[in-house]
């Protein structure tokens, strides 16, 4: 019996098409994605249904426009009666796994939809938001679930928490109310939030 191929969906937030090497970027180094593009299909004339984060993710999750999904803004609520990845892929005998930011809507986490998750990020789970760790100057939201996930990951990898040097709060922009981390810190690639998401994605695919 022929094995089913894995389906890997790499989802980034509001990323320009020309920030990938396979589309001609010279400053951004994306060798692994470039390799996938060289072995598969690369679109040259494709457009997202909708730009903002949650509406775009909900459209991809269901294959429907925002006025159908119910998620037309980042605070929208997904129509849970619609067919979606979580309802249809198991019919084809696929196991579901999810790592990293969710933000399809604010009702359910990935595990609520049946995805296997090593760590269930909050419904809005940008990895570098709301971090409360020593060294942050402006102070972020306390008792952050995301910070706990990140520290657990570092402990599992026997990595020391990096010394964070700056936190920025975009007070002037109502669309950026979360405190975000910006700046350099000491450490290896494995110290990064993105490394945590990539590592857990590989673990889910190999399980």
Catalytic amino acids?
A: 53, 103
Measured between alpha carbons, how far is 36 from 43 in angstroms, rounded to an integer? 13
Q: Which two tokens stand for residue 40?
A: 């598969």
Which residues face 167 on adjacent strands?
Answer: 181
Q: Which two tokens stand for residue 14?
A: 């509001």
Measured between alpha carbons, how far is 78 from 170 in angstroms, rounded to an integer? 28
Closest CA to 69 of 107, 96, 110, 105: 105
- Assess contact for 125 and 146: CB atoms under 8 A: yes
Measured between alpha carbons, how far is 161 from 40 in angstroms, rounded to an integer? 38
């Amino acid at each position: 019996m022929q094995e089913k191929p894995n389906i890997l969906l790499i989802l980034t937030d509001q990323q320009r098409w020309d920030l990938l090497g396979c589309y001609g970027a010279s400053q951004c180094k994306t060798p692994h994605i470039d390799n996938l593009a060289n072995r598969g299909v690369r679109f040259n004339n494709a457009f997202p249904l909708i730009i903002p984060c949650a509406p775009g993710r909900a459209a991809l999750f269901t294959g429907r426009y925002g006025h159908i999904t119910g998620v037309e803004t980042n605070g929208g609520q997904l129509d849970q009666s619609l067919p979606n990845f979580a309802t249809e892929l198991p019919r084809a005998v696929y196991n579901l796994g999810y790592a990293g930011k969710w933000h399809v809507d604010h009702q359910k986490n990935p595990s609520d939809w049946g995805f296997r998750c090593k760590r269930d990020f909050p419904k809005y789970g940008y990895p570098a938001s709301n971090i409360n760790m020593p060294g942050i100057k402006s102070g972020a939201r306390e008792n952050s679930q995301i910070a706990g996930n990140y520290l657990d990951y570092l402990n599992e990898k026997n990595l020391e928490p990096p010394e964070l040097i700056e936190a920025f709060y975009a007070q002037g922009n109502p669309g950026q109310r979360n405190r975000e981390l910006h700046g350099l810190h000491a450490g290896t690639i494995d110290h990064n939030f993105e490394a945590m998401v990539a590592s857990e994605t590989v673990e889910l695919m190999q399980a």
